[in-house]
């Protein structure tokens, strides 16, 4: 089975991070593209954790990061950028529910520097929506919180040729 591969510098930093951050997950475009296209090499790495951003900064060696947003720690890793954000909500499930689309709400745990494919979290049906080629958001509030997500919806529709689920279409039109 193919596995997601990071550049060596990124892999080293992910291993170090996973030693210092217990609940660390790979999210966003990498899992989506891996399960959709079998794409396994990547350089845009999005991670999430249950720690607040201050605790993330405390656990990341100071030469690792630059802070470009109040809620994101960015780590330069050679040809890759690793972005770590705290959960949006009280736990991983709430974080995944707050993401733009179900296909971007698949989380792969990182344990001892390795992706744990046996414990992939897909509480919102991202795999199903990839299989049936459907774009769906979990709730209207996701578009209200960030209206640019509506543009992303149409970009994904154009790029992937997926159908937009009826309720998601209504949410987009309403906002």
Distance CA 127, CA 140 (A): 21
Statement: residue 41 has pLDDT above 80? no
CA nearest neighbour of 60 among 95, 14, 28: 14
Distance CA 26, CA 7 (A): 15
Per-residue model confidence (pLDDT) at position 69: 55
- Listed in sequence order, the residues at least 6 apart from 123 whose beta carbon sits closer than 8 Å to its beta carbon are 93, 96, 97, 105
Per-residue model confidence (pLDDT) at position 150: 97
Phi/psi of residue 133, each to 5°? 55, 55
Q: What is the mean pLDDT of residues 94-121?
A: 96
pLDDT band at 73 (very low <50, low <70, confident <90, very high): confident
Per-residue model confidence (pLDDT) at position 147: 95
Q: What is the pTM of this model?
A: 0.90
Q: What is the sign of the dihedral through the CA atoms of 55, 60, 62 and 67?
A: negative
Q: What is the mean pLDDT of residues 100-127?
A: 96
DSSP symbols for 42-73: -SEEEEEESS-HHHHHHHS-GGGEEEEETTEE
Highest averaged pLDDT of the listed ranges 4-13, 16-25, 77-86, 99-108: 99-108
Statement: residue 68 has pLDDT above 70? no
Q: What is the mean pLDDT of residues 47-70?
A: 75
Q: What is the mean pLDDT of residues 127-135?
A: 97
Q: How many helices (H) and strands (E) does the chain have?
A: 8, 9
How is residue 90 annotated by DSSP?
Answer: S
């Amino acid at each position: 089975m193919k596995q997601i591969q990071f550049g060596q510098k990124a892999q080293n930093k992910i291993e170090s991070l996973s030693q210092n951050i217990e609940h660390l997950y790979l999210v966003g475009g990498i899992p989506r593209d891996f399960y959709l296209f079998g794409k396994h090499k990547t350089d845009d790495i999005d991670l999430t954790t249950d720690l607040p951003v201050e605790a993330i900064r405390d656990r990341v060696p100071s030469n690792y990061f630059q802070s470009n947003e109040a809620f994101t720690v960015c780590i330069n890793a050679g040809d890759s950028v690793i972005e770590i954000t705290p959960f949006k909500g009280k736990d991983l499930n709430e974080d995944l529910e707050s993401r733009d689309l179900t296909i971007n709400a698949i989380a792969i745990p990182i344990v001892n520097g390795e992706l744990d494919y046996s414990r992939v979290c897909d509480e919102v049906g991202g795999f199903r929506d990839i299989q049936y080629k459907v774009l769906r958001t979990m709730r209207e509030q996701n578009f209200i919180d960030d209206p640019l997500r509506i543009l992303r919806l149409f970009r994904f529709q154009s790029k992937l040729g997926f159908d937009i689920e009826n309720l998601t279409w209504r949410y987009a039109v309403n906002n």
